[in-house]
């Protein structure tokens, strides 16, 4: 039986963030408008590996692979303190794609105006150090300040820690983990200083307290933390379905109900680095993109914060 703890984490953006989407429009390299759980997991594992006691551990290479199971990060979303404490989660509905969980949702153009920017750069000739001809490109980013105002933006999400399994890994401590993730660097263009985030607030959700609010992202309630993966359940399912906060992996049985789904499908393919074998492709499957609407109301938080459907018992 697993023993999961859950923390709500709020990070302040110290610099803009670029999360590669694999989409390019001309010279523009687009960013995702959220931070996937895999990105947060990778940055966390890199930071844990920087601790002196682990740097000197020759088994760290194999140990870090084992951290995939006891650490489940949800996806993280822009959190604007001026927007009624509301994370800017994409949400498909009758009027198309909007952002925000409640109240007057932002349109895509409003969202991009408030939170998305870009910078222009060029390639550099290795021999001369000068700009390479015809190699101009533009990188889209999540801004660290709304409309370049003074107050910084944040990202909000959750991490589930399988305490027993985590501490079995060479004596890693849950308390140390929270200290280690205080400052992270995530996403692309890190060599230019992008992607720096700092923990602004952490909140442990007391799952044994009956009066504790066990809701994540407003509409999903933590249902079972004794199974191999955390299980969540929709609080108030309506006839139109529920918006999801991560990629929902689909299988043959769920694809039969494709007509009940509203949103985008996306193949989840990425690159992983596997020591001496170098980079290789990894395909997780086909997923519904975050914000899509589905009538599935019981889900499992799986590898890298992806979601899997569960049948109702």
Q: Could you read off the pLDDT of 66-107 as tens digits, one per residue?
A: 777 888 999 999 998 877 668 999 988 778 889 987 656 889
> Does residue 273 have a pLDDT over 70?
no
Q: How confident is the model at residue 55 (pLDDT cuts 50, 70, 90)?
A: low
Instruction: Say if residues 3 and 162 touch (Cβ distance below 8 Å).
Output: yes
Residue among 271, 272, 279, 311 at smallest CA distance from 295: 311
Q: What is the pLDDT of residue 223?
A: 85
> Does residue 58 have a pLDDT over 70?
no
Q: What is the pLDDT of residue 159?
A: 94
Lookup: tokens for 277: 């074998």
Rounded Cα distance between 161 and 149, Å, is 35
Rounded Cα distance between 301 and 118, Å, is 32
Q: How confident is the model at residue 22 (pLDDT cuts 50, 70, 90)?
A: confident
Lowest mean pLDDT segment, chosen from 129-133, 141-145, 229-233, 265-269: 129-133
For the residues 189-217, what does the mean pLDDT come to?
A: 87
- Contacts of 136 by beta carbon, 8 Å cutoff, 6+ apart: 27, 120, 121, 122
Instruction: Say if residues 160 and 72 touch (Cβ distance below 8 Å).
Output: yes
**In DSSP terms, which residues pair with 155 in a beta bridge?**
11, 78
Instruction: Say if residues 50 and 185 touch (Cβ distance below 8 Å).
Output: no
Instruction: Say if residues 147 and 114 touch (Cβ distance below 8 Å).
Output: yes
pTM: 0.89
Token look-up 């007391």 returns 206
Sign of CA dihedral 187, 193, 194, 195: positive
Residue among 213, 209, 202 at smallest CA distance from 235: 213
């Amino acid at each position: 039986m697993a023993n999961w703890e859950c923390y709500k984490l709020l990070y302040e953006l110290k610099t803009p963030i670029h999360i590669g989407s694999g989409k390019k429009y001309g010279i523009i390299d687009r960013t995702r408008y959220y931070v996937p759980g895999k990105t947060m997991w990778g940055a966390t594992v890199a930071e844990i590996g920087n601790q002196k006691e682990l740097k000197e551990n020759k088994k760290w290479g194999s140990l870090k692979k084992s951290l995939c199971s006891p650490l489940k990060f949800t996806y993280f979303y822009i959190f604007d303190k001026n927007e009624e404490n509301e994370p800017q989660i994409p949400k498909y509905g009758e009027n198309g794609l909007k952002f925000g969980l409640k109240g007057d949702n932002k349109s895509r153009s409003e969202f991009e105006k408030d939170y998305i920017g870009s910078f222009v750069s060029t390639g550099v000739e290795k021999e001369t150090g000068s700009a390479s001809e015809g190699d101009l490109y533009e990188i889209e980013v999540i801004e660290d300040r709304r409309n370049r105002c003074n107050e910084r933006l944040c990202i909000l999400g959750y991490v589930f820690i399988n305490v027993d399994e985590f501490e079995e890994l060479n004596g890693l401590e849950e308390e140390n983990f929270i200290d280690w993730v205080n400052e992270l660097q995530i996403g692309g263009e890190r060599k230019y200083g992008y992607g720096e985030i700092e923990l602004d607030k952490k909140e442990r959700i007391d799952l044994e307290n009956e009066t504790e609010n066990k809701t994540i992202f407003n509409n999903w309630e933590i249902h079972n933390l004794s199974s191999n993966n955390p299980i969540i359940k929709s609080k108030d399912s309506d006839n139109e379905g529920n918006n999801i906060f991560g990629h929902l992996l689909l299988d043959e049985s769920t694809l039969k109900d494709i007509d009940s789904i509203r949103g985008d499908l996306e193949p989840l393919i990425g690159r992983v680095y596997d020591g001496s074998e170098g980079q290789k492709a990894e395909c997780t499957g086909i997923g519904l993109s975050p914000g899509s609407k589905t009538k599935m109301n019981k889900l499992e938080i799986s590898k890298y914060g992806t979601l899997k459907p569960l049948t109702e018992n």
